[in-house]
Amino acid sequence: MPTPNSATETAIKPFDADTIADAAARIAAGECVAIPTETVYGLAANATDGKAVAGIYAAKGRPSFNPLIVHVATMDEARKIARFDSAGENLAAAFWSGPLTLILPLAENAPIADLVTAGLDTVAIRIPAHPAMQALLKASGLPLAAPSANASGSISPTRAEHVARSLRGKIGLIVDAGPTGHGIESTIVASRQHGLTLLRPGPITAEQIETAAGTPISTAKSETISAPGQLASHYAPSKPLRLDATDAEPDEWLIGFGDIAGDSSLSPSGDLVEAAANLFAALHEADASARPQIAVAPLPDKGIGQAITDRLARAAHRD
Ligand code: TXA
Ligand code: MG
């Protein structure tokens, strides 16, 4: 897998059977691959493998972890990952395959790495319509986590050359199938007990959602005002968290790194990609322990270490 500092040769290949075979082999090996969807180009990796997903963050240089969308080929696969209520069923039937992402509770034993959901118990999922992404899903036989294929801070890519401009040297393969159809990211709708919420407007409109679901949809803004906290899109532990801890107080569960062993370790060998892959599981474990406080060993503030440090700093301040 490419590390953030190694210069990787980036191949740009036209969408055909050979390219999809190459892409699927890279996905199986834990690499990430840029590939078009009907909305924007995505940067896809095996959603069941935390280290592969950490590679997405390393390539994008994203300074913090955001939960990612899981792409699947079929409704059967979707049901292994998310729990569909009746609104979710109706929306999937009406708009999949297509530019709609549903936020639903994670299914029991869903085979999804914690880093994909950023430790949440909900998951963002969609069946994309683009033949290239569909072909890769089928060839790999895996659910694929994919954010937009741009470096952090640059705009979403609708052409292979946009991807190349921001990620050349950071990823091994860009599958080129020309400009994407919609050019904006998928509509995101959360289905919760109290109803549907539009989290991100997109190609499918709120009116279309209401008609298909048969229930009204609220927008994220009004919900934020009426029910603060419900939109929390980040997991944070419930206990106080201390950073840069070189050893633990008696009431602390210490999450180690490198030479600091701790009660658990993000990466005994000091590998930041491995640490990112283990971060949310380590926080959940610390939260569930009998000790009332959490401490975390110091991490280097470089590469993907910055995203880990940012997430921990925000957990320490209870965002
Ligand atoms: O069109 C698209 O949706 C593209 C293509 C590649 O599929 N993907 C995309 O992914 O736009 P990304 O990572 O750029 O945006 C995903 C959004 C983020 O704003 C994230 O916070 C939100 O989805 N999200 C993911 N999981 C969530 C969850 N469990 N709860 C709330 N928001 C979630
Ligand atoms: Mg994006």
Tell which of 160, 184, 218 closes a domain.
218
Q: Best mutation site among 32, 53, 69 for ligand 1, i.e. most ligand atoms within 8 A of its Cβ?
A: 69
Q: Is residue 235 part of a domain?
A: no
Q: Are residues 204 and 251 in the same domain?
A: no
Number of domains forming the structure of the chain: 2
From 187, 218, 249, the end of a domain falls on: 218
Strand-strand pairing, 173-176 and 187-192:
unpaired
258 and 159 together in one domain: no
Does one domain contain both 251 and 145? no
9 DSSP assignment: P
* Any domain includes 225: no
- Same-domain check for residues 148 and 279: no
Ligand 1 proximal residues by C-beta, below 6 Å: 37, 39-40, 42, 66-69, 101, 103, 117, 120, 122-124, 146-148, 185-186, 188, 199, 233
Ligand 1 geometric centre to CA of 69 (Å):
5
Low-confidence ranges of the chain (pLDDT < 70): 1-6, 221-234, 318-319
Tokens 């990430």, located at residue? 32
Q: What is the DSSP letter of 296?
A: E
- pLDDT of 32 reads 97
Q: Does one domain contain both 257 and 119?
A: no
- Same-domain status, 189 and 312: no
**Non-local CB neighbours of 134 within 8 Å, separated by 6+ positions:** 73, 97, 128
Residue 304 lies in a domain: yes
Q: What pLDDT is stored for residue 230 in this prediction?
A: 41
Please give the pLDDT value at position 6.
57
- Do 164 and 308 fall within a single domain? no
Name which residue sits closest to atom 9 of ligand 1, judged by CA: 147
| Selection from 14, 15, 56, 47 nearest residue 140 by Cα | 47
Same domain, residue pair 255 and 204? no
pLDDT of residue 154: 76
Over residues 266-277, the pLDDT tens digits come to 999 999 999 998
Domain that holds residue 285: 241-316
Residue 6 located in a structural domain: no
- The pLDDT value recorded for residue 53 is 97
| CATH (domain of 292) | 3.40.50.11030
Q: What are phi and psi of 221, to 5 degrees?
A: -65, -50
User: What is the 234 CA–ligand 1 centroid distance (Å)?
Assistant: 12
CA dihedral 308, 313, 315, 319 (to 10 degrees): -120
Beta-carbon contacts of residue 8 (< 8 Å; ≥ 6 apart):
2, 169, 170, 171, 172
**Which ligand approaches the C-alpha of residue 36 most closely?**
1
Within this chain, do residues 207 and 255 fall inside the same structural domain, yes or no? no
Cα of 200 from ligand 2 centre, angstroms: 11
Where residue 78 sits, what CATH number does that domain have? 3.90.870.10
Claim to verify: residue 154 and residue 45 sit in the same structural domain: yes
> Ligand 2 centroid to 135 CA: how many Å?
22
